[in-house]
Amino acid sequence: QVQVMESGGELVQEGGSLRLSCTASGLTHANAMGWFRQTPEKGREPIACIDWYGLSTFYADSVRGRFTISRDHGKNTLYLQMNDLSPEDTATYYCAAGSLVVLPTTCRNEFGYWGQGTQVTVSS
């Protein structure tokens, strides 16, 4: 059984930093992972994704230069380092793992698994 679980979301002040973590268990093959976020206005959108080898990454324009995605295979964990946060980053952040399409220009969760989400709130 595949389980994906995010952690690290909390209330932070504008300009602050936060690191999200995601652990994925039960996957039996090489997989891509990614972070998506959801708001009522924009729905769920990809913000940062990485393939198994770390050779292909995607960043949304809105976070490029501020957010960094990384993964630790030994711990089956994905990270999202978020710096210089703004109120526009307020959202529920979801981790996806499995069959994702990861290209520099796009990221899609084709047949991957979702976590339950973690809330990030940035106050001004």
The pLDDT tens digits for 54-103 are 999 999 999 999 999 999 998 989 999 999 999 999 999 999 999 999 99
Mean pLDDT of 33-37: 97
Model pLDDT, residue 29: 79
The pLDDT, as a whole number, for residue 47 is 97
Whether 28 has a pLDDT exceeding 90, the answer reads no
Q: What is the mean pLDDT of the chain?
A: 96
pLDDT over 90 at 14, yes or no: yes
CB 81 within 8 A of CB 19: yes
Percent of the chain with pLDDT over 90: 90
Does the pLDDT value for residue 34 go beyond 90? yes
pLDDT of 107 higher than 90? yes
d(CA 67, CA 71): 14
Q: State the pLDDT confidence band at 5, using cuts at 50, 70 and 90.
A: very high
User: CA-CA distance, 33 to 52, in Å (whole number)?
Assistant: 8
The 8-class DSSP code of residue 118 comes to E
The pLDDT value recorded for residue 121 is 98
